[in-house]
């Protein structure tokens, strides 16, 4: 099965300002992505932007799939203007994805901002295990896919910076308070997270403090997505590692911030 494929756009809808959900139909059979895998999407045939843009698998729909993305710059802006029927050239699925053999009794999932894109896929896959899903965003408007999460029975615990939905403040502090209330059983949890770097750093400290095992999906600027350009390395306790190849998911205790 080739990892380079063409896909036609079924739908490319704006959810809220600058945030889009694109549904794609691969024109050939592709490998089923794992949560935490990503695709390198060529947003245009023109010379600029030359590079593909990395975007996580958000949802797998029996062969079709969805990506959830924010317009950050030129590439994603071009993507947001694509119409149903347009064809995209895509590489993937890439990266290691989240490990799915989980021995812990309980699962904690933390999504910050657009980190909900891959965490949705993981939550959907793990829903029978009743994971506790913590979801933080700047404001209510930027809480994406809440109805779909609720429909899956994954009622998230929410925090927003401005208090417009859920608890006011950051989601790591909410988790901290919950952990403090259930300290005796906390080591029997596995933590998975994706979100902005400050959130992941704070979660790493929390995990270290409580001896919590887990994994985080990291983001880095990427050029090739295939492990050859070394443009995406991060420092880990095992040396420098490529986010596109050995990652994007790393054990929490291996990440050197």
Ligand X SMILES: Cc1cc2nc3c(=O)[nH]c(=O)nc-3n(C[C@H](O)[C@H](O)[C@H](O)COP(=O)(O)OP(=O)(O)OC[C@H]3O[C@@H](n4cnc5c(N)ncnc54)[C@H](O)[C@@H]3O)c2cc1C
Binding site for ligand FES (CB under 6 A): 222-225, 227-232, 242, 244
Shortest Å distance, C-beta 33 to ligand FES: 18
Between 203 and 243, name the residue whose CB sits nearer to ligand FES.
243
Tokens of 106: 């309980």
Using the 8-state DSSP alphabet, how is residue 83 labeled?
A: -
Between 54 and 214, name the residue whose CB sits nearer to ligand X.
54
Between 143 and 244, name the residue whose CB sits nearer to ligand FES.
244
Consecutive H or E run containing 231: none
Gap between the Cα atoms of 105 and 120, Å rounded: 20
Shortest Å distance, C-beta 207 to ligand FES: 25
Among 22, 219, 234, 241, binds ligand X (CB under 6 A): 219
Gap between the Cα atoms of 41 and 69, Å rounded: 12
Gap between the Cα atoms of 20 and 215, Å rounded: 26
- In this structure, is the dihedral angle defined by the CA atoms of residues 96, 97, 102 and 107, taken in order, positive or negative? positive
Q: Is 113 in the site for ligand X (CB under 6 A)?
A: no
Q: Is 56 in the site for ligand X (CB under 6 A)?
A: yes
Query: Residue 52 binds which entry of ligand X, ligand FES, none, with Cβ cut-offs from 5 to 8 Å by kind?
Result: none
Among 5, 60, 65, 69, binds ligand X (CB under 6 A): 69
Query: Residue 39 binds which entry of ligand X, ligand FES, none, with Cβ cut-offs from 5 to 8 Å by kind?
Result: none
Instruction: Enumerate helices (H) and strands (E) in the chain, giving the number of each.
Output: 5, 16
Candidates 9-17, 68-76, 129-137, 172-180; binding stretch for ligand X (CB under 6 A): 68-76
Shortest Å distance, C-beta 246 to ligand FES: 9
Can you tell me whether residue 197 is helix, strand or coil? helix
Q: Is 245 in the site for ligand X (CB under 6 A)?
A: no
Q: Is 42 in the site for ligand X (CB under 6 A)?
A: no
Using an 8 Å Cβ cutoff, are 37 and 93 in contact? yes
Shortest Å distance, C-beta 176 to ligand X: 26
Can you tell me whether residue 155 is helix, strand or coil? coil
Candidates 48-56, 121-129, 138-146, 185-193; binding stretch for ligand X (CB under 6 A): 48-56
- Strands in the chain per DSSP E: 4-16, 19-26, 38-42, 53-56, 59-61, 64-70, 87-94, 106-112, 132-137, 157-160, 167-168, 189-194, 213-217, 233-236, 239-242, 249-251
């Amino acid at each position: 099965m080739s990892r380079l494929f063409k896909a036609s756009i079924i739908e490319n809808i704006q959810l809220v300002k600058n945030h889009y959900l694109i549904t794609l139909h691969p024109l050939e059979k592709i490998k089923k992505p794992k949560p935490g895998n990503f695709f390198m999407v060529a947003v245009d045939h023109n010379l600029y932007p030359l590079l593909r843009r990395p975007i996580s698998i958000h949802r797998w729909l029996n062969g079709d799939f969805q990506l959830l993305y924010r317009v950050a710059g030129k590439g994603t802006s071009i993507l947001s203007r694509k119409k149903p029927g347009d064809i995209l050239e895509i590489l993937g699925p890439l990266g290691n994805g989240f490990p799915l053999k989980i021995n812990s009794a309980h699962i904690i999932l933390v999504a910050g901002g657009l980190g909900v894109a891959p965490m949705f896929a993981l939550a959907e896959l793990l829903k029978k295990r009743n994971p506790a899903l913590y979801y933080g965003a700047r404001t209510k408007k930027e809480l994406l896919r809440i109805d779909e999460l609720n429909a899956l029975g994954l009622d998230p615990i929410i925090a927003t910076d401005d208090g417009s939905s859920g608890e006011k403040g950051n989601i790591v502090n909410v988790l901290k308070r919950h952990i403090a209330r259930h300290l005796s059983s906390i080591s029997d949890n596995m933590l998975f997270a994706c979100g902005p770097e400050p959130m992941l750093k704070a979660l790493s400290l929390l995990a270290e403090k409580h001896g919590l095992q887990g994994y985080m999906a990291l983001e880095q600027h990427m050029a090739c997505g295939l492990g050859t350009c070394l443009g995406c390395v991060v420092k880990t306790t095992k040396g420098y590692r490529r986010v596109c190849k050995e990652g994007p998911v790393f054990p929490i205790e291996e990440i050197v911030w």
